[in-house]
Amino acid sequence: MKKNNLIISILIFFGIIFSVSVFAKNNIAEVPAGSENTTAQAVLMAKQKDKAVQEVDRRIAFLNEAIEKIQITKKINTDQKNALIIQVQNEITFLQQLKEKIKADTDKTTLLEDRKLVVQRYKVFGLLQSEIAIIAYADKILNIADLMDPQTTNTEAKNKIADAKSKAQKAISDILVLTFDGFPQNKSVLKASKDLLTSARQELNEARVIIKQGTTQP
């Protein structure tokens, strides 16, 4: 009898130990698993937000500088200048609002949609930044041509200066009609305009050489 009680006690003891260990194991496995998932998701969202905000900030910084560049441009008319400035300001406002929304996002799905919006919106920035760079380049070419023209009576030099001017003006007029929805397909027009400016610049350099040769001759 005593022997049976001893065996039963030992079995109960091991049974309790086994139950406790299984219960403890289950608890240890369940609680940290949920916590790890939540933490990992939060870390991932923070990383995604950082990248998205970084891209948005990059665009805003460029566009802020662009406004100043447009304002000092001399060779586009006031209407064209104002239209361009309004487009840039609208985009800055849009990006600033999107940035604040991304920073405040707590839901993974909403954040994903906002990140997709940043990617889709690149067409506006992509076109604006190329347009502004080309206009700034063309503007400088036209200003230099205006300075050089009165310096010479040489027909060849004058023709080259006139060619440079018309190429720079064409580059500006070609790109100002482009639309955001057409980007990046209309990149070919942007590249063609850039090639026109490269050629215009070459014409000015050649005209400069002719003018210098003329002034150094006795």
Residue 194 is a binding residue for other proteins (CB under 8 A):
yes
To other proteins, the closest distance from the beta carbon of 34 in angstroms equals: 22
Question: Residues of 87-108 as b/e, b for ≥16 C-beta within 10 angstroms?
Answer: bbeebbebbeebbeebeebeee
Q: Which of 105, 137, 178, 183 binds other proteins (CB under 8 A)?
A: 137
Cα torsion 75, 79, 80, 84: sign: positive
Which among 53, 47, 36, 129 has a CA at the least distance from the CA of 91?
Answer: 129
Determine which residue in the list 9, 17, 35, 47 makes contact with other proteins, applying CB under 8 A.
47
Number of residues that bind other proteins (CB under 8 A): 40
Judged by CB, which is closer to other proteins: 52, or 60? Answer: 52
Q: Is the peptide bond before 184 cis (omega within 30 degrees of 0)?
A: yes
- With contacts defined by CB under 8 A, name the span among 27-35, 54-62, 70-78, 82-90 that binds other proteins: 54-62
Query: Which has the closest alpha carbon to 145: 98, 93, 83, 206?
Result: 206
Helix H or strand E encompassing 39: helix 2-71
**Position 72 contacts other proteins (CB under 8 A):** no
129 and 58 Cβ atoms separated by less than 8 Å:
no
| Sites of contact with other proteins (CB under 8 A) | 44, 47-48, 51-52, 54-55, 58, 112, 115-116, 118-119, 122, 125-126, 129-130, 132-134, 136-137, 140-141, 143-144, 147-148, 151, 187, 190-191, 194, 197-198, 201, 204-205, 208
